[in-house]
Amino acid sequence: MSEEGRKFVAVNRKARHEYFIEDTIEAGICLAGTEVKSIRAGKGSLQDSFVKIENGEAWLYNMYVAPYEQGNRYNQEPRRKRKLLLHKFEIERLAIKSQQKGLALVPIQMYFKHGHAKVEVGLGKGKKLYDKRDSIAEKDMIREQARSLVERG
């Protein structure tokens, strides 16, 4: 699964289900060597993770990276906070927007682009229960249409 030189390693499927994503931004991520090896092996997860801006820096919380098997003492804590690499003006823009009522910063996907680990962060507004039902019904309708086309053709 790759597009434009990207190798996707983790996708937060719940993010698009729980939020209306209004804006996205690509951010680099600070990782230790053993964490990079573990993520390349597909042992990372963005589930239940979130982004916070503290003291002019963006931090990714609760992202799980399994300890690397050959890493022994160099392994890091699996759910430690990790710094996101963004320009100062990008952080300020995200901070202002995220302080608005009902907006949150959520990681959408993690991938390698030209050998560097990147995280796509989305600015999302929480969905209500009826919005989630509407989106599920829409997906079901599209799936049914695809089935009927296959049956005809």
Q: Please give the helix or strand (H or E) that residue 91 lies within, else none.
A: helix 88-98
Residue at 68: amino acid letter: Y
The span from the CA of 118 to the CA of 140, in Å, is 32
pTM of the entire predicted model: 0.77
What is the per-residue pLDDT across 76-129, written as a single tens digit (0 to 9) for each? 777 889 999 999 999 999 998 888 777 889 999 999 998 889 999 999 888 887
Q: Which CATH superfamily is domain 6-127 in?
A: Small protein B (2.40.280.10)
> Coil, strand or helix: which one is 108?
strand
**69: pLDDT strictly greater than 80:** no
- The secondary structure of 11-63, three-state, reads ECHHHHHHEEEEEEEEEEECCCHHHHHHHHCCCEECCCCEEEEECCEEEEECC
C-alpha distances out from residue 139 to 24, 116, 145, 146, Å: 22, 33, 10, 11
How much is the average pLDDT of 29-52?
88
In the chain, domain spans? 6-127
